[in-house]
């Protein structure tokens, strides 16, 4: 169900578009236990793709993509919520009609349950389940091999002391109220020696590998469940795009805020959103049948999966591992946005160019190159720039190459960020004559950032607010007017966005009734939408270009309009089927 919306505003990047000609890196050698990852089912016993049989376009796309990657897939039929027999939807608690989940949520739940059902019926030792609109990197096997090294480091017994693990919080993390145990990051480049796995190349101790998602948190004290807190940090992973191309539905985005460029992290699942791709073991599939298929559908499937992993809301805790950025992401083909989902509303927009976010050498975007047997793959960066050259809205020249707005209907809040301005400067408000405006234009409720990362030499600090304001390095009038244009453009976009948000919200209210379960936190069910128009003024204070861009440490809390992490019940986009 689409109870929230994310809009992207992109401006043209002026630099020339050059195809990404990069030499292909041959996979390095692997130990014997990792070899199966190179097989046709990626080291699982089966790869299933779930989706509606009527979406033959998606099946064609998935089939082509899988064949170009030498992956053997099998389709599992999803079903529309309206076609499910009412009596087949388990009801283990007494409920009112209006406490039922919406049909899209039920359809998505059933599609995934059909896949899980197959895993159990065929007694598969493990299976990877993908939604039918995902894309991956041409180097997927290397990525999975690296992920397997990481999951083994987190969950296999140490070779030297087989009764212990390198993560001191595995298998049982201290419960929430016990004193925080600090867990050092494990470097991917110095992994501990472990007992080689025997059950699966990914380890002997996992239930779920949630490797396609739209957001995860690092486990930490104070988050739900007693999730083990170890992280394997893979720095200099060339398959990770630059940070400015990364996004998540979970805020804060610690990976992007606190780790260097091209870092991938493997860790246990916490607050995952979207089930684009996940593997299950036979044991876990049986448990999912027991705990998710045969119980009330009281949340969307990804949210229930989160509870299943974390061991909250009446579920037992399971060993679920994940990776950030994920390895499977949505692919959006060119065409009417409506076609993107059979269950969510994507409006009347027409998408001129296909895209896949956060995958550098996307298989789908490189189908031509692969079909011709070439190796000069297009990088996501070139593709995004190419897409921008094809008539995306132009805003403020290269200063503001992308801004995005995230609105959550559940909390009644929205948030705006620039995703991709320049690395050279902060965005500041200036007067017509080019002087900085220091009286709280963009900064009223910001606390001083102390990034300490440099890169903004020549900046000043506003004596009143303590807010750092940076000057453009070049400082030419052209530069400054570009900034002005960018700022004005954003302010006007906010107006449009607010209008859009309110319009959408009206339509959503009716749908929400069904979706809001009785157990929902009451503060979430009464969002103050009506206050939004008057908040528009505050919102431009939230236009903060810097933290995402320069590798600065995150400026805690002040950047958020609201406690924004999708709470257990907040539903973002569900794209299945």
Ligand X SMILES: *[C@@H]1O[C@H](CO)[C@@H](O)[C@H](O)[C@H]1NC(C)=O
Residues contributing to the site for ligand X (CB under 6 A): 36, 39-41, 43, 45, 123, 125, 200, 451-452, 456-459, 468
Which residue's CB is nearer to ligand X, number 40 or number 294? 40
Outline where 337-469 has alpha helix (H): 367-371, 380-389
Q: 171: cis peptide before it, omega within 30°?
A: yes
**Can you tell me which residue has the tokens 């992280």?**
231
* Shortest distance, position 228 Cβ to ligand X, whole Å: 24
* Shortest distance, position 209 Cβ to ligand X, whole Å: 13
The rounded distance, in Å, linking the Cα atoms of 574 and 274 is: 7
Which residue's CB is nearer to ligand X, number 373 or number 452? 452
* Shortest distance, position 452 Cβ to ligand X, whole Å: 5
Which residue's CB is nearer to ligand X, number 458 or number 495? 458
- Residue 166 CB partners (closer than 8 Å, separation 6+): 153, 154, 158, 186, 192, 194, 230
* Shortest distance, position 25 Cβ to ligand X, whole Å: 23
Which residue's CB is nearer to ligand X, number 341 or number 425? 425
Q: Where are the beta strands (DSSP E) in 11-160?
A: 46-51, 74-77, 126-131, 134-135
* Shortest distance, position 555 Cβ to ligand X, whole Å: 11
DSSP string, 195-219: PPPSS-TT-SS-SEEEEE-SB----
* Shortest distance, position 549 Cβ to ligand X, whole Å: 14
* Shortest distance, position 281 Cβ to ligand X, whole Å: 11
Which residue's CB is nearer to ligand X, number 438 or number 451? 451
The rounded distance, in Å, linking the Cα atoms of 329 and 325 is: 9
The rounded distance, in Å, linking the Cα atoms of 574 and 81 is: 13
Which residue's CB is nearer to ligand X, number 74 or number 352? 74
Rounded CA Rg of the chain: 24
* Shortest distance, position 131 Cβ to ligand X, whole Å: 21
Which residue's CB is nearer to ligand X, number 123 or number 187? 123
Which residue's CB is nearer to ligand X, number 116 or number 395? 116
Which residue's CB is nearer to ligand X, number 117 or number 223? 117
Structure tokens given for 296: 């009330």
The rounded distance, in Å, linking the Cα atoms of 515 and 510 is: 9
Give the HSE-up count for residue 412: Cα atoms under 13 Å, Cβ half-sphere: 14
Q: What are the helix and strand counts (H, E) for the chain?
A: 11, 19
Beta bridge partners of 328: 212
Task: Evaluate whether 566 touches 215 at the Cβ level (below 8 Å).
Answer: yes
Structure tokens given for 535: 């908040």
Task: Evaluate whether 548 touches 256 at the Cβ level (below 8 Å).
Answer: yes
* Shortest distance, position 458 Cβ to ligand X, whole Å: 6
């Amino acid at each position: 169900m689409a109870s929230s919306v994310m809009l992207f505003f992109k401006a043209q990047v002026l630099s020339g578009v050059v195809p990404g000609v990069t030499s292909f890196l041959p996979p390095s050698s692997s130990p014997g236990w990792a070899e199966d990852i190179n097989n046709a089912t990626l080291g699982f016993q089966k790869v299933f793709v779930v989706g509606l049989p009527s979406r033959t376009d998606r099946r064609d796309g998935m089939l082509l993509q899988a064949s170009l990657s030498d992956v053997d897939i099998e389709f599992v039929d999803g079903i529309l919520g309206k076609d499910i027999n009412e009596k087949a939807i388990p009801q283990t608690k007494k409920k009112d009609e209006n406490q039922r989940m919406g049909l899209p949520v039920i359809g998505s739940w059933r599609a995934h349950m059909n896949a899980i059902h197959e895993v159990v019926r065929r007694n598969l030792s493990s299976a990877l389940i993908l939604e039918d609109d995902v894309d991956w990197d041409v180097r997927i096997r290397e990525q999975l091999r690296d992920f397997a090294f990481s999951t083994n480091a987190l969950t296999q017994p140490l070779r030297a002391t087989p009764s212990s693990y390198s993560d001191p919080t595995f298998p049982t993390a201290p419960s929430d109220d016990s004193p925080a145990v600090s867990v050092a990051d494990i470097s991917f480049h110095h992994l501990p020696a472990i007992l080689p796995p025997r059950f699966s190349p990914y380890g002997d101790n996992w239930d779920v590998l949630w490797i396609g998602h739209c957001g995860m948190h690092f486990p930490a004290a104070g988050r739900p469940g007693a999730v083990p807190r170890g992280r394997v940090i893979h720095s200099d992973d060339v398959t990770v795009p630059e940070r400015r191309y990364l996004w998540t539905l979970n805020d804060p985005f610690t990976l992007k805020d606190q780790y260097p460029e091209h870092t991938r992290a493997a860790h246990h699942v916490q607050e995952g959103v979207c089930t684009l791709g996940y593997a299950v073991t036979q044991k876990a599939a049986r448990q999912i049948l027991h705990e998710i298929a045969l119980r009330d559908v009281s949340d969307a499937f990804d949210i229930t999966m989160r509870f299943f992993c974390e061991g909250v809301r009446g579920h037992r805790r399971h060993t679920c591992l994940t990776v950030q950025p994920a390895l499977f992401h949505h692919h959006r083909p060119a065409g009417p946005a409506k076609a993107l989902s059979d269950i969510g509303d994507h409006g009347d927009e027409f998408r001129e160019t296909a895209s896949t976010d956060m995958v550098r050498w996307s298989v789908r975007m490189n189908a031509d190159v692969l079909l011709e047997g070439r190796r000069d793959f297009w990088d996501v960066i070139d593709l995004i720039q190419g897409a921008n050259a094809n008539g995306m809205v132009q805003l403020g020249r290269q200063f503001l190459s992308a801004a995005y707005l995230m609105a959550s209907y559940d909390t009644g809040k929205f948030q705006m960020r620039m995703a991709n301005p320049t690395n050279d400067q902060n965005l500041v408000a200036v007067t017509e004559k080019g002087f900085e405006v220091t009286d709280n234009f963009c900064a009223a409720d910001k606390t001083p950032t102390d990034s300490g990362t440099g890169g903004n030499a020549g900046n000043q600090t506003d004596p009143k607010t303590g807010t750092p304001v940076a000057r453009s390095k070049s400082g030419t009038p052209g530069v400054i007017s570009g900034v002005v244009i960018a700022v004005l453009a954003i302010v006007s976009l906010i107006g449009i966005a607010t209008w859009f948000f309110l319009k959408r919200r009206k339509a959503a209210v009716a749908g929400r009734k069904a979706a809001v379960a009785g157990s929902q936190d009451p503060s979430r069910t009464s969002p103050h939408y009506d206050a939004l128009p008057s908040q528009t003024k505050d919102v431009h204070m939230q236009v903060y270009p810097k933290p995402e861009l320069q590798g600065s440490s995150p400026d805690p809390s002040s950047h958020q309009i609201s406690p924004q992490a999708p709470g257990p019940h907040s539903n973002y986009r569900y794209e299945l089927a």
